[in-house]
Structure formats: structure tokens, C-alpha cells
Structure 1
Amino acid sequence: MPSPVTTDPLLPLVDLPGVSEACAKARADVDRLLNHRVLRKQSADVSGESLIRGARASAELEDHGYQLEAVRSGSIDDPVVTGCLRVAGELGRITDIWEKAPLQAIAALHLQAAHGSLHRDDLARPVAGPEAAHRLQQLADTVRAPRSRQLPGLIVAAVVHGELLSVKPFAALNGVVARGAARVALISTGVDPKALAVPEVGHVAEKREYQHALAAYRTGTPDGVARWIVHCAQALSHGAVEGLAICEAVLRG
């Protein structure tokens, strides 16, 4: 008996207005970054700086903004900033469990993000109601679903990001968790396997659109979902340019 045909539940999103074009541009921009010559020998340096810049930008989106040099030096005694840095430092480990146990990975992200900001009883423990729990399980099932080769990994990251910001499963710092999970999805799907781009910087650069596009996504309409995915694609394109700037800085020494 032939095996049943499986369909990627996210594949229809490719046909939403503007999505395919935005994803293709982001893919080209990330490919340009991945081909930079400094990455042949110093990709770890670029990745490390990308994660620091991403953590700083993620904290700014939580209204805890600081200068990059202060964050890099470790002189900021702010639990939100240190939580963002811990999330960045754990992305590799969390990516290893993402595809098999996405809910466990999301909980691990919250543990890193919220340690020092919340009571330990609220760490890594969803506090939302049954509807939110159902949506989290749906998200986990979507992450584990068979992937179509025609689906840009960016769409997976955008849906993960949008769902976690919409469901708000934890008592606080859901945004940090959502952006960390989006990074994990970009790594896991092969969009940016070494975490070289800095999409968080793109969200900061278009902070108003980040908020408006999220509101549109929450409506669940095709146009609203499309607006969110396009915004995430544009943020990744911006983040790829930031990654190129990091490459040039590393090259100069």
C-alpha cells in the first residue's frame, strides 16, 4: 500500500501577496552574506558578534535599550539584557532539540530569557489558558510537520515568531522567546545555519511596522499574515546587511 501523501501545512502561505518575492530577496541577501570571504576562516567571530548585536536589539524591543559597546563589555546589570545574551548563547544547544521537541525548546528559551526577571516558579512554565495551550501544541505540530522543498524556511521562522508573540504563553518576556525561537528556526531550516544575519536589528529599524505587522498577523486574515511574513523577510534582509558589516569589521581586524 502506498504511503499517504503529506502536505506541508505552511505551503499555502507562499502564495500570499508579496510573500514569495520578499522571501526570495531575503534569501539572496543572506546568500550574499554567506559567501563573504572572511567566513572561510572566521565565521565563529562573525556569528558571535551577530548574536551580541541581536541580543542588544531584542532587549531594545523590550524597552531595555543600551549602547552596543556597553552590552559587549558585559557592564550592563539589567536582567532583561543578560537574559537576551543567555538566549543568544544557548541557540546552538536549543537548535539541537528544536525539531524533535519544539515545546521543550521554547521552554528552554524562556528559562534563559527570564532567569533573574521572574520568580523561579514562573520560569519555563506557560501560564496562559487552554486556548493558548492548544495553539502552542498546534505550533509544535506545525514545526514537526514534513517540510516541502518549495517552502522558504523564513516562513517557518515568521510563523513561529508571530505565534509566540500572539499566544504570549509566559508571564513575561514572550518577545525575547519569540525572537530567539525565530532565530532557531532560521538555523534549523538552513536559512542562516551559522546565525550570521541579525534580523533583530531589522525589527528595531522598523519598530513601528514590527508592531503594526504583528497586529495584522493576529487578525488571521490572508493579508494580515502576508504583511507579517513580508516584514520578517525585510527584517532578515536588513539583518543580512548588518552581517556583512560585521564581516567587514572582522576582516579589518
Structure 2
Amino acid sequence: MSTTDPLAVLGSLPGVAESVDSVRKAVDQVYGHRVMRRRSNEVTSEAALRGARGSAALAGADWPLEEVRRRSDFSADPEARTVGAALRLTAEAGQLLSMWRQSPVQALARLHLVAAGGAVPDETVGRPRLAGEKVTDDPLIDAAPALPLPEPEEVAARLDGLAGLLLAGSEAPALVVGAVVHGELLALRPFGSFNGLVARAAQRVVLVGSGLDPKSICPAEVGHAELGRADYLKALEGYVSGTPEGMVAWIAHCGRAVGLGVRESVAVCEALQRGAAS
């Protein structure tokens, strides 16, 4: 293993291999389900819906699944706009693989455009925030004293560094790469809005593009929501600390979230098998 591959170095930290193995076994379980041979598109659609609901819940719009399923207008109020943005992002994530591989920063700009278009001033959409611009995002994250908001110059440098790592390729497992992308975007909050939704959508892009979850049926957002906002914030503080222990805790948290998302999709498969998906 080369020390010029920082993501692979993270993958070698104590405890990370166990998280990676657990996720791989869980993903194999759902991909091996007999329903996937005939009805994988239905499982993908349901995973997208449930993932969007989970991501919106983490951003403060905790709607029942049936309410998300029933609604057609997502412009009435801030919670509705959050849910609508989450739904658009989960639909868009699978369309961005080519752009992500060529220009991760451009793909992130596209994700923010999809999330924020029409909801925030046009001049702030699809570009990193500038000096003096506020972040109106998840109040849980924005108010956390252990998560200071980086200045725009630092954001630009770290985004470039992250893109460089991704474009260079890595031997690190998909879980590790996805966790780092997710954590880095939450730590940086590069946009003026919808950063949490964009960060979770970017992790989805990584997991799909890596081949770990090519059909996008393992909604980690479901697991993050089930683990709860307090644990999510605590794990993120570990990432921001930059310590090996903190990084391992964040990767393990992301691994548990994927595992819970898999459990949700296995339940969907079972329901489809019974002919009564709910």
C-alpha cells in the first residue's frame, strides 16, 4: 500500500476492515435476493424514495414515508422544499457517474443546482459560497461548536484536494471513499444551502459508481436517519477532529448506516415477494 494514497491509509486503520466486511456481506445479501432477478427496478425506485425521506429527515423535514409518497407539490414551505430537494437528488445521483469521474467539483455543483434551484437566490446556486455569505442549512450542524464553518478560501482548497484524490483513484474500499466524501462535504459546507442533502447524495454516487451498489438499492440515508441526528453529529465531530479514532468512528457509523439501508431493501424485497410492498 502506497502512502501517496491517503484514502487507502484510512482503509488500513484498526477496525475499518471489519466495517468494510460487514457492509460487503450485507450488500451481497440483498443483491442475492431472488426478487432482484426479476424486479430490481422496483427495488431501486423504492430505495430512492426511502433514501430521500431519510436524507430529508436528517435535514429537519421528518415526514412519514406515505406523506412523501403521496405529495406532488413540494413548494409550500421550507420542509416541503427540503423533501422535494431530497427526492430530486436521489433521482439525479445515478445520472452523474460520468461527470463525477471526470470532474467531481462540477458534479457537486450540479447536485446543488438540482437541490436548490428555485429555492434560493439564483446567483448562489451551483457554486461554492463567497466571503461574507451565510450558510442557511441544517441548524443542528450549523450551531455545533465542534464544527466551525471554514472560510471560503479553505473550502476551495479542500474541495480541490478532494477532487484530486478522487481523480487519482484509490485502492480504498468504497465505504471509506464514500464516508470521506460525505464527511468532508459536511465539514466544509461549501454551498450556502442544502449541504447535508448534497453530501449524502454524493456518498450515494460514490457507492453506485464504485460497483459496491450499482443498482442503488442500499439507501445509506435510511440508516443515517434511523441511527438518529445526535449520533450522526457525534460521528461527524469525530471526522472533523481528524484523529485516527475519530475517522474510524465516522467510517463505522457510515458502515452501520449502509447496513441498515440494506435491511430496509431486504424488507422491500420480502414484501414484493409476498405481493404486498408497503
TM-score (norm 2): 0.86
1:209 lines up with 2:211 in the alignment: no
Which consecutive unaligned segments of at least 5 residues does structure 2 have? 75-79, 131-151
The counterpart of 2:164, out of the listed 133, 141, 144, is: 141
The counterpart of 1:162, out of the listed 173, 177, 183, is: 183
Which deviates more from structure 2 when the two are superposed, residues 55-64 or residues 9-18?
A: 9-18
- 2:66 aligns with 69
**TM-fit CA distance, 1:187:** 0.4
Give the Cα–Cα distance (whole angstroms) in 2 for the partners of residues 93 and 204 of structure 1.
24
Which deviates more from structure 2 when the two are superposed, residues 108-117 or residues 193-202?
A: 108-117
**Partners of 2:108 and 2:198 within 8 A in 1:** yes
**TM-fit CA distance, 1:7:** 4.6
**Partners of 1:79 and 1:115 within 8 A in 2:** no
Give the Cα–Cα distance (whole angstroms) in 2 for the partners of residues 217 and 177 of structure 1.
17
**Partners of 2:3 and 2:9 within 8 A in 1:** no
**TM-fit CA distance, 1:100:** 1.1
**TM-fit CA distance, 1:66:** 0.7
**Partners of 2:56 and 2:86 within 8 A in 1:** yes
Give the Cα–Cα distance (whole angstroms) in 2 for the partners of residues 147 and 6 of structure 1.
11
Which residue identity does 1:8 align to in structure 2?
D
1:193 lines up with 2:209 in the alignment: no
**TM-fit CA distance, 1:147:** 2.5
**Secondary structure of the corresponding residue to residue 93 of structure 1:** coil
**Partners of 2:220 and 2:261 within 8 A in 1:** yes
**TM-fit CA distance, 1:192:** 0.6
- Sequence identity, in percent? 44
1:37 lines up with 2:34 in the alignment: yes
Give the Cα–Cα distance (whole angstroms) in 1 for the partners of residues 271 and 98 of structure 2.
30
- 2:102 aligns with 100
**TM-fit CA distance, 1:146:** 2.6
Which residue identity does 1:9 align to in structure 2?
P
Pairs aligned (count):
247
1:18 lines up with 2:44 in the alignment: no
1:242 lines up with 2:239 in the alignment: no
**Secondary structure of the corresponding residue to residue 190 of structure 2:** coil
Which residue identity does 1:107 align to in structure 2?
A
The counterpart of 1:112, out of the listed 104, 111, 114, is: 114
Which consecutive unaligned segments of at least 5 residues does structure 1 have? none
**TM-fit CA distance, 1:71:** 0.6
**TM-fit CA distance, 1:6:** 9.2
**Secondary structure of the corresponding residue to residue 10 of structure 1:** helix
Give the Cα–Cα distance (whole angstroms) in 2 for the partners of residues 140 and 27 of structure 1.
25
1:226 lines up with 2:248 in the alignment: yes
**Partners of 1:16 and 1:226 within 8 A in 2:** yes
**Partners of 1:84 and 1:113 within 8 A in 2:** yes
Which residue identity does 2:192 align to in structure 1?
A
- 2:149 aligns with none
Give the Cα–Cα distance (whole angstroms) in 1 for the partners of residues 174 and 202 of structure 2.
13
TM-score (norm 1): 0.94
The counterpart of 2:205, out of the listed 141, 165, 184, is: 184
**TM-fit CA distance, 1:74:** 2.5
**TM-fit CA distance, 1:75:** 4.1
Which residue identity does 1:147 align to in structure 2?
S
- 1:53 aligns with 50
**TM-fit CA distance, 1:240:** 0.8
Q: C-alpha root-mean-square deviation of aligned residues, in Å? A: 1.4
**TM-fit CA distance, 1:219:** 0.8
**Partners of 1:7 and 1:146 within 8 A in 2:** no
Give the Cα–Cα distance (whole angstroms) in 1 for the partners of residues 271 and 162 of structure 2.
38
Which residue identity does 1:121 align to in structure 2?
E
